[in-house]
Structure 1
Amino acid sequence: MLPSTPSRSPYESGREPGALQLGERLPRGRRLAFWAQAEVVAAATDLAEVIGGAIALHILFGIPLLAGGVIVGVVSMLLLAVQTHRGPRHFEFVMSGLLAIITVGFVTGLFLGPVDWGEAVAGVLPRLEGTPTVLLAASMLGATVMPHAIYAHSALARDRHGLPPARAALPQLLTATRWDVLLSLLVAGSVNIAMLLLAAGNLSGVPGTDSIEGAHAAIVAALGPGVGIAFGVGLLASGLASTSVGCYAGSAIMGGLLHVRLSVFTRRLITLVPALVVIAAGVDPTWALVLSQVLLSLGIPFALVPLVRLTGDRAVMGVFVNRACVSVVAWVVVALIVALNLALLVLTAAGGG
């Protein structure tokens, strides 16, 4: 129910997508503050994906990280050109192709490495033991429920069909959207689970696996170079896809909240530079990845709270307003995310171990 809400909002309200309606509703000061945090989230997204892509190029071809970051930025510009010149549907096809590569790259090792399914089931229940585990939980949450995806999904719905869509087409659009979201979550969830199982089955207790390069080396040692190459290709495809979508979302954020329209290429440069600066400064890439995902986790409530409020407002949504049960579930999810983020902030401030 909740994941399809971002794309339902522009369809059913006939207005700007979800949280971006705040550009019409908030006074200037609060609107600028909301835009600033959204831009920080967009920059954090780009940081993670550019670094991830650069690491993948280093793993596959030995390319230095800074040069790899530049290559990822250039290729992502080419991918964004598809959206600019061929339209949202072609852009989605390209992203779907990259998603298929990601799936193959990260799932391949699961068929070759043993999985203790009893231990896997036992690990379903999270166990948070101090600040480090809460930090990792928040980073995994940010990496899975990326706030920029909420903005991007709404914007894609708007750009593909226009606002407002034909009234007669709404039921068909909503059904297609639900299936689209369901299949996307199924694939994304399967890939994430596969990565966790692969790591748990083959990297547990292996020294040096606290970095992506170390994890790759351990995978090669345990499962062979073929799986290592598949892992690197999947990581590269993930970086290219996510950084392109993040840039698209950033353009939607600026347009919706500031009513400023920049080309996606200008946006690409704005968010690429901080990532390249971090790489050039020699910051540990794995640590930068974790912290960037924590920032994404902190940004999730800022994207979800306005979205849930607006889609639960009959004045905005009319007859398509969220049912009470949907709103309750949505607010519970938001509350849990906020609780995790607050726990992380409190533990960090207290210096908890």
Structure 2
Amino acid sequence: MSNRSLPLEGADAAVRAPCNNARASAWLRRSLRARTRWFSLRGAGALVAVGYMDPGNWATALGGGAKYGYQLLSVVFASSLMGLLLQWLASKVGVVTGKDLAQLCRERYSPRLTIMLWLGCEIAIIACDVAEVVGSAVALQLLLGVSLSAGVMLSAIGTFAMLSLQRRGRAPLQTAVTALIFFVACCFVIELALASPSWHRAVAGLVPPAALLRDPGMLWLAAGMLGATVMPHNLYLHSALVKNHALGRDDRLVSKAIKAVNADTLISLSLAFLVNAALLIVAAAVFHASGHDEVSDLAEAHRLIAPLVGSHWASLVFAAALLACGLNATVTGTLAGQAVMEGFLQLRSAPWARALLTRTLAIGPALLAVSAFGEQGSNQLLIASQVVLSIQLPFAVVPLVRFAADAGLMGAFRVKRIPLALAWACVAIVVALNLVLVWQVVTDSPAQSLF
């Protein structure tokens, strides 16, 4: 019997082998799909975080750190917390409803109000793109020695190069963006090591200064920091990126998607805060501490940072990080423009067409500023563009909070109690800050005290 059992066992093994191979292949396919879905659920945060460290943030953080030392670190921290809360609301609305913020505005508001909201958001995107164009141009000038006008044109080429990664799906683009974010973070680790800041004063700077509402220049920079950190079109973009994460609309799937998106948002925006805080701390430690409290221009900061810290690497790392931020920001601006146009107007456009449109509208003001006023004019344009974003922010935040608290729209996932109270408090702060800002612009011209 033992002699007969051997062939049977061999035949049985031969039959089982294909089955085992099929099971292994099926397991591998499921594993790959799970990993792909895991990355897609956690890729939106990287794209959104880019908007929190674009060249506009550099201009406001440099100006604030050089002029006021560590005092405005509290504004960076508060803006980042507000941004985290608002991005959480935007992502939650997108996951639960399966629609982005622009689509919800079109469905629930009148056509006239919808058009007004769309125009305001487009203005914000153009203002942001102006900052990205100028910032990238300055970085290219510092690294390659080209003129600012040539840098403006080269930055447009960089936009199309980054967007070409989308031909194989969103994953390659997300990978490239994430890699550049970590590159920027490493650059600022080097800058902090070279700058040797006073960490005691930095911690004290987390307390809001009493002069914030009395000093026109400080308020102007605070509004610019708020606009540079909490960008209105980022809210539209985030809701659009995650709206398909729970396609079945089953409560269990929705809860799982929300948890994944929340973790992604927290990690990504925390890294963005650290980069922004590091930029202001470096400016305070290098420029303010040495008496160069009028440094607000990116090129001037690049020129002074190496001799002040005693290392030529400081200026090279500074310019490389600025270029990486500029390239990344061009991607999110284009993606946000697509989401806004499709959501409000139901018009679809190819990424290259949207990039061409926003770049064409942004290149004009950028070329005008750098040709008429030089580097100083480009820096004024950078900070002014961030103030425009701050003024536009309430028109995106108010609908977002209303939708997030709507029981008929969000069901069991609606925002209520403490998170809702904090959200409305953010709205109140944004509106109050903008009212004070507009009043001071009309009466005192705070920009003159800064420049």
Aligned to 1:214, what secondary structure does the other structure show? helix
Q: Is the Cα–Cα contact under 8 Å of residues 10 and 154 in structure 1 kept in the other structure?
A: yes
Q: 2:325 aligns with which of 238, 243, 248?
A: 238
Q: Supply the distance in 2 between the matched residues of 1:123 and 1:10 (Cα, whole angstroms).
A: 35
In structure 2, the residue matched to 1:300 is 393
* Higher mean displacement: 29-38 or 202-211: 202-211
Q: Which runs of 5+ in 1 are unaligned?
A: none
Matches within 5 A, 1:113-262: 113-124=195-206, 125-126=208-209, 127-128=211-212, 129-158=214-243, 161=245, 163=247, 165=249, 167-204=251-288, 205-206=291-292, 209-223=295-309, 224-262=311-349
Q: Supply the distance in 2 between the matched residues of 1:165 and 1:273 (Cα, whole angstroms).
A: 40
One-letter identity of the residue aligned with 2:95 = Y
1:12 equivalent to 2:99? Answer no
Q: Supply the distance in 1 between the matched residues of 2:409 and 2:402 (Cα, whole angstroms).
A: 10
Q: Supply the distance in 2 between the matched residues of 1:104 and 1:61 (Cα, whole angstroms).
A: 22
Q: Given the superposition, is the C-alpha separation of residues 156 and 243 from structure 1 closer, same or farther in structure 2, using an over 3 Å criterion? A: same
Q: Supply the distance in 1 between the matched residues of 2:363 and 2:247 (Cα, whole angstroms).
A: 37
Q: 1:89 aligns with which of 123, 148, 171?
A: 171
1:106 equivalent to 2:199? Answer no
Q: Supply the distance in 1 between the matched residues of 2:187 and 2:97 (Cα, whole angstroms).
A: 39
Q: Supply the distance in 2 between the matched residues of 1:107 and 1:76 (Cα, whole angstroms).
A: 27
Deviation at residue 37 of structure 1 after TM alignment? 0.3
Aligned to 2:319, what secondary structure does the other structure show? helix
Deviations 1:234-285 (A, max 9, x none): 1011111112101100110011011111112111111112322123222411
One-letter identity of the residue aligned with 1:218 = L
Q: Supply the distance in 1 between the matched residues of 2:219 and 2:316 (Cα, whole angstroms).
A: 31
Deviations 1:169-218 (A, max 9, x none): 22221111111111112101101110111000001122762311111111
In structure 1, the residue matched to 2:426 is 333
* Higher mean displacement: 86-95 or 223-232: 86-95
Deviation at residue 333 of structure 1 after TM alignment? 0.9
Deviation at residue 352 of structure 1 after TM alignment? 5.5
Q: Is the Cα–Cα contact under 8 Å of residues 105 and 344 in structure 2 kept in the other structure?
A: yes
Q: Is the Cα–Cα contact under 8 Å of residues 22 and 257 in structure 1 kept in the other structure?
A: yes
| Structure number with larger C-alpha Rg | 2
Deviation at residue 168 of structure 1 after TM alignment? 3.6
TM-score scaled by length of structure 1: 0.94
Q: Is the Cα–Cα contact under 8 Å of residues 44 and 295 in structure 1 kept in the other structure?
A: yes
Q: Given the superposition, is the C-alpha separation of residues 201 and 139 from structure 1 closer, same or farther in structure 2, using an over 3 Å criterion? A: same
1:26 equivalent to 2:26? Answer no
Q: Supply the distance in 1 between the matched residues of 2:136 and 2:301 (Cα, whole angstroms).
A: 15
Deviations 1:297-336 (A, max 9, x none): 1122111111110010011111111122111110001111
1:274 equivalent to 2:361? Answer yes
Root-mean-square deviation (CA, aligned residues, Å) is 1.8
Deviation at residue 74 of structure 1 after TM alignment? 1.5
Deviations 1:70-126 (A, max 9, x none): 22212212222223x222333222211111122122332101212122322332223
Aligned to 2:302, what secondary structure does the other structure show? helix
Deviation at residue 229 of structure 1 after TM alignment? 0.9
What percentage of residue pairs aligned between the two structures are identical? 34
TM-score scaled by length of structure 2: 0.74
Q: Is the Cα–Cα contact under 8 Å of residues 246 and 257 in structure 2 kept in the other structure?
A: no
Q: Supply the distance in 2 between the matched residues of 1:350 and 1:322 (Cα, whole angstroms).
A: 39
Q: Is the Cα–Cα contact under 8 Å of residues 50 and 275 in structure 1 kept in the other structure?
A: yes
Q: 2:156 aligns with which of 69, 73, 88?
A: 73
* Higher mean displacement: 71-80 or 210-219: 71-80
1:321 equivalent to 2:408? Answer no
Q: Is the Cα–Cα contact under 8 Å of residues 65 and 279 in structure 1 kept in the other structure?
A: no
* Higher mean displacement: 203-212 or 343-352: 203-212
Q: Supply the distance in 1 between the matched residues of 2:124 and 2:353 (Cα, whole angstroms).
A: 17
Q: Given the superposition, is the C-alpha separation of residues 13 and 331 from structure 1 closer, same or farther in structure 2, using an over 3 Å criterion? A: same
One-letter identity of the residue aligned with 1:193 = A
Aligned to 2:196, what secondary structure does the other structure show? coil
Q: Is the Cα–Cα contact under 8 Å of residues 52 and 236 in structure 1 kept in the other structure?
A: yes
